[in-house]
Structure 1
Amino acid sequence: MEAGAGTESPQISAENCFDILTRAKRDGAEGARRRALGFMSRHYLQVLRTPAVFGRLTAAERELILARRMEGTKVLAVAESSDASDRGGSRESSRPQSPQPPAPEDPEHRRVFCLHPDTRRWEVLTRLPEDVPAKGSGMCTMYNYLFVAGGIRAHGDGRSKASDRVFCYNPLTGLWSQVRPLSQPRCQLRLVSMDGHLYAIGGECLFTVERYDPRVDRWAPVAPLPRGSFAVAHEATSCGGELFVSGGSLFYRLLRYDSRRDEWEECPFNESRRRSTDMVAHRSLVYRFDVDRERAGVSVYKYNTAAKAWHGGASFPLENPRPFRCAVLGERIYCVNRSHTLQFEVREEREGFGPEVLPPPAEARGALVPFVLSLDRDE
């Protein structure tokens, strides 16, 4: 369980924060009330899975501590990682392969960077703990925490093994902690957050999917991916309360998961037969990015989840393009790899790649996984 931050008053803890809040409300002590709610916001996961605290808060107080947690300066962040197999942009076979022993990891290159919103320079935010596999793991954010699940680790006998461990980073305290392990070890999974839950999707030779409920700190199986769909190298995102999965060796397919019915169904095919590099959602649209080395550029397709139709999008000329990963911040999709960061505008009045190409973090290693975090307003 995550320890308290050093900046918090020593008199407040997860065990007494609700009592402090109750006394503050009774006595009209506004300062103590704000301090108790602030502690709950900074340690939201711990409070969420403590019925004696979260279950006794009013609906307004629950909304307040979550809203406060999500406030602050939103920044683009990237984690140094690597996939267990090449994610090339060409139309290569993605037939499942036996996991290969990962190369020894350099502890100096397990960093998480954030892009300073004013200076537009990359700064080190934290480092992945040594126990976190940096190869083949899934990463995403939920409730302003960074979660890292699964991956592949080398053992002393020279063999590698998929991991079931799940770690989370709290940017408001600067601390890492662990949550309940996955139901089964996974490598090359996709980790997606939706409606207050995490979904661990597929992995090396796996079609199974499981869902994490942070209120009870538990993973539970949901409907697996349809047989014959995507064993590895898939992309996944959430949009409008539904999961969408694509990629693998069947590049044109898009699957939709309805959590209410616990069912997967086929969406209309995409015209591109190339392997996509990533897929993200903005409003009711799912954006798919394809790297085309033959035509030296990046192509964008978008799927309208309301109209259930694909549309061709913008393209961007790029010499020798390399695969990248994407994150949405405001009205912009950032496309990040070790060479550059492209910016794709998704405003209603304008959609397309902007002219500014940001440099990557200096001396970054491996694949870069982007995401968005809100940093404390006082930082």
Structure 2
Amino acid sequence: MEGSEGKESEPTSGDLCPHLGSTAADMSQQISAENCYEILTKAKSEGAEGVKEQVYGYMSAHYLQVLRTPGVYGRLTAGERELILARRMEGRKVLAVAETCEGHDRGGSRENSRPQSPLLQGPEDTVHRRVFCLHQDTQRWEVLTSLPEEVSAKGSGMCTLYNYLFVAGGVRAHGDGRSKASDRVFCYNPLTGVWSQVRPLTQPRCQLRLVSMDGYLYAIGGECLFTVERYEPRTDRWSQVAPLPKGSFAVAHEATSCGGELFVSGGSLFYRLLRYDSRRDEWEECPFNESRRRSTDMVAHRSLVYRFDVDRERAGVNVYKYNTVVKVWHGGASFPLENPLPFRCAVLGDRIYCVNRSQTLQFEVQEEREGFLPEVLPSPVEARGALMPFVLSLTRD
């Protein structure tokens, strides 16, 4: 591991509230999760605005650690809580991708074939485990970080929450030559460059879907699993919620959140869509989609859920959208592609980026129009394995 969140330079017990006359550079090195609230209180009483801003900056950069510390987060005002989170989400938003190995042919040529279990496949030594980010101005991909060796790149679930990248579950090789599902969960902080481990899942999962919604993480299903569990960052705890209906899905399903609800589709019954209501802790069936193909991914934008299907027979990509307000499916745009390959999607602003190793499509969503842009962006030239896209906010240059 590259380090533990917020543990880079802890002060000694006798120096929990440094002298506020220190220089700005000195003070930034002395602030920690243990003393940040005391320094903030002293800075307020002495009118030390510069120090107060540095403390807010520390709290923003180490948000998860502050969130889990009752003596800090519990004593902040509502306005201060909003401030440090807003600062954390500021900065330069970038499209990022992680090299992974999903363990099955998503949207492959055999539409009705059963996905191959990653537990039966070989080691993940062909995956380089890097995370790339795209610079919009130059349209060049650069390496941002790498997944530590302890993090599984095969069959894991990934998503972002509070501008952290979380990686949960997956498959790990053991000394006896067999592979087993993992319960381990890690997160990456792009503001500090540090990877850390959080509370493990309540049960090992591979081929799960990891989705963030309303300040929680949801680990959905996985191979041979219908169970769903929810992670609360403030208590660093996973708890079981209502499972997926029995017989609904195999692995290879898609999941997204929209309007405070979870939506799950795909699997062995391609056209079905399930909705999870967190207030009632219940799943219910949504109207069927007309497509009978295995979707390659599903994402949400405003009140719409967009489903992307790869059609190898007609050499293209078809888009369907579900209006979560009026609960109706609509046919959408299509895009011709020779030998179309599966891809995964991420939403940045009013564009949905569809990424695989060969290219990145841009699907623009505007009130007056929506559809694929003619400009096809490159993907990381040296990337290996399947690419999992997501969006992070980096510090401004």
Q: TM-score range by the shorter chain?
A: over 0.9
TM-score normalised by L of structure 1: 0.97
Letter in 2 for 1:361: P
Partner of 1:92: 112
Describe how 1:116-195 pairs up with structure 2 within 5 A: 116-195=135-214
Describe how 1:96-115 pairs up with structure 2 within 5 A: 97=117, 99-106=119-126, 109-115=128-134
Q: CA deviation at 1:347?
A: 1.1
SS in 1 for 2:120: coil
Percent identity over the alignment?
80
2:283 to 231, 240, 264: 264
Cα displacement string for residues 341-379 of structure 1 (whole angstroms, at most 9, x for unaligned residues):
0000001122000011011101110000000000012x4
1:42 to 61, 73, 79: 61
Note if contact 2:274-2:286 (Cα within 8 Å) is conserved in structure 1: yes
Distance 1:235 1:152 in 2: 19
Q: How many residues align?
A: 377
Cα displacement string for residues 134-189 of structure 1 (whole angstroms, at most 9, x for unaligned residues):
00000000000000000001112110000000000000000000000000000000
Note if contact 2:208-2:223 (Cα within 8 Å) is conserved in structure 1: yes
Describe how 1:1-379 pairs up with structure 2 within 5 A: 1-4=4-7, 9-90=28-109, 91-94=111-114, 97=117, 99-106=119-126, 109-377=128-396, 379=397
Letter in 1 for 2:295: S
* Structure 2 runs not aligned, ≥5 long: 10-24
SS in 1 for 2:30: coil
Distance 2:106 2:334 in 1: 20
Distance 1:275 1:376 in 2: 38
Distance 2:256 2:300 in 1: 6
Identify the range of structure 1 (224-233 vs 259-268) with the bigger mean alpha-carbon deviation.
224-233
Tell me: CA distance 1:370–1:249, structure 2 relative to 1, closer, same or farther (3 Å).
same
Tell me: CA distance 1:133–1:289, structure 2 relative to 1, closer, same or farther (3 Å).
same
Distance 1:97 1:173 in 2: 36
Q: CA deviation at 1:3?
A: 3.0
Q: CA deviation at 1:198?
A: 0.1
Note if contact 1:72-1:376 (Cα within 8 Å) is conserved in structure 2: yes
Distance 1:153 1:16 in 2: 38
Q: If you compute each CA radius of gyration, which structure gives the higher value, 1 or 2?
A: 2
Cα displacement string for residues 206-264 of structure 1 (whole angstroms, at most 9, x for unaligned residues):
00000000010000000000001112110000000000000001000000000000000
Q: CA deviation at 1:286?
A: 0.1
Q: CA deviation at 1:82?
A: 1.0
SS in 2 for 1:158: coil
Note if contact 2:124-2:154 (Cα within 8 Å) is conserved in structure 1: no
SS in 2 for 1:306: coil
Note if contact 2:103-2:116 (Cα within 8 Å) is conserved in structure 1: no
